[in-house]
Structure 1
Amino acid sequence: MREVCSLSGMARSTFQRWKAGKTSPTVATVNRMMDAIYSTRAKRKEVA
């Protein structure tokens, strides 16, 4: 999750607050996270 937070420009503490149910992400933030996940997966497939 550290890598996804870094790639999406989000602090890990923000993610931890979501996980604890203290706050909720915006749609834009979820989209940035999804973009980071998919770009990371694509890069790993290119290397393999």
Structure 2
Amino acid sequence: MARLQLGLSSVYDLRRTEPLASITLGRARCIPTHALTDFIRTRLDQEAAA
């Protein structure tokens, strides 16, 4: 949430609708740093191509 500067529900929406890799640790859903970096890079590339 902090890295994307989004609220919790927005992050859940992204996780549900976008290819954003995550893992479950206990009851927590965690997004690895490399997955977040890849997601941001992909979105930037898509916007640049549009």
TM-score by length of 2: 0.46
Greater helix content:
1
The structure with more strand, counted as a fraction of residues: 2
